[in-house]
């Protein structure tokens, strides 16, 4: 009773009362369009599916895809290194170092717009060994920083902090009197 009321309310077509089986119309399958056969003007759900060709054009593009993914990974990992606290701390210590300011001048920053941080930065296992190019108003050089943590409980110990100038001269910036990386208690 409720179903008949709802059908009348929404205007649904009524089924015959005797509910005998309606005749089933069978449609013929239409073949899939061939190449260069013109635009497909009508789409029917019962048309034939196109044949699957066994072409493997994607194999030719696989090396290009691998190179693009590899380059993207290198870029992402380098960006992660360049935005780490270790790199920003060493750059800050370089800016405040009197020796580095004497060699490089003021406004010490990365030498390139997109800096390349080479080396290993593994703080979890206690190994930091990085180098990157920096520049100031007077010149540019390659800053190297190496620090290790002997065991999980101890602090990092700075082993090398140097600046290699373009002419090949290496200036040690780390001395025992003014170590900017020493942990103060």
Each residue of 46-98: pLDDT tens digit? 677 777 777 777 788 899 999 999 999 999 999 999 999 999 999 999 999 99
Nearest to 161 by CA among 115, 105, 148, 111: 148
Which residue's entry shows tokens 């108003």? Answer: 137
Answer for the pair 142, 112: CB distance below 8 angstroms, yes or no: no
The count of C-alpha atoms lying within 13 angstroms of the C-alpha of 149, restricted to the half-sphere facing its C-beta, is 15
Question: Does residue 111 sit in helix, strand or coil?
Answer: coil
Alpha helix locations (H) across the chain? 2-10, 58-82, 85-96, 98-104
Position 148 confidence tier, pLDDT thresholds 50, 70, 90: very high
DSSP classification of residue 166: T
* Contact residues for 161 (Cβ-Cβ < 8 A; gap 6+): 90, 93, 143, 144, 145, 146, 172, 173, 174, 181
Q: Calculate Rg over the CA atoms of the chain.
A: 36
Q: What is the pLDDT of residues 82-95, one digit of tens each?
A: 999 999 999 999 99
Using the predicted structure, report yes or no on whether residue 30 has a pLDDT greater than 70: no
Domain residue ranges in the chain: 85-172
Nearest to 147 by CA among 175, 121, 170: 121
Q: What is the pLDDT of residues 127-139, one digit of tens each?
A: 999 999 999 999 9
Nearest to 136 by CA among 79, 169, 98, 174: 98
- Helix, strand, coil % over all residues of the chain, rounded to 5: 30, 20, 50
Output the average pLDDT for the chain.
82
pTM above 0.75, yes or no: no
């Amino acid at each position: 009773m409720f179903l008949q009321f709802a059908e009348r309310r929404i205007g649904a077509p009524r089924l015959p009362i005797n509910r005998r089986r309606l005749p089933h119309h069978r449609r013929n399958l239409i073949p899939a369009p061939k190449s260069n056969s013109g635009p497909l003007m009508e789409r029917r759900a019962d048309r034939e599916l196109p044949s699957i060709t066994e072409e493997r054009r994607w194999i030719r593009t696989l090396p290009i895809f691998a190179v693009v993914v590899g380059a993207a990974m290198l870029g992402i990992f380098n960006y992660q290194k360049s935005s780490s606290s270790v790199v920003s701390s060493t750059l800050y210590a370089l800016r405040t170092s009197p020796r580095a300011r004497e060699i490089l001048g003021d406004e010490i920053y990365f030498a390139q717009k997109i800096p390349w941080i080479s080396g290993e930065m593994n703080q979890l296992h206690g190994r930091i060994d990085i180098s990157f190019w920096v520049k100031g108003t007077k010149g540019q050089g390659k800053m190297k920083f190496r620090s290790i943590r002997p065991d999980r409980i101890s602090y990092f110990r700075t082993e090398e902090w140097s600046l290699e100038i373009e002419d090949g001269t290496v200036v040690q910036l780390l001395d025992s009197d003014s170590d900017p990386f020493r942990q103060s208690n």
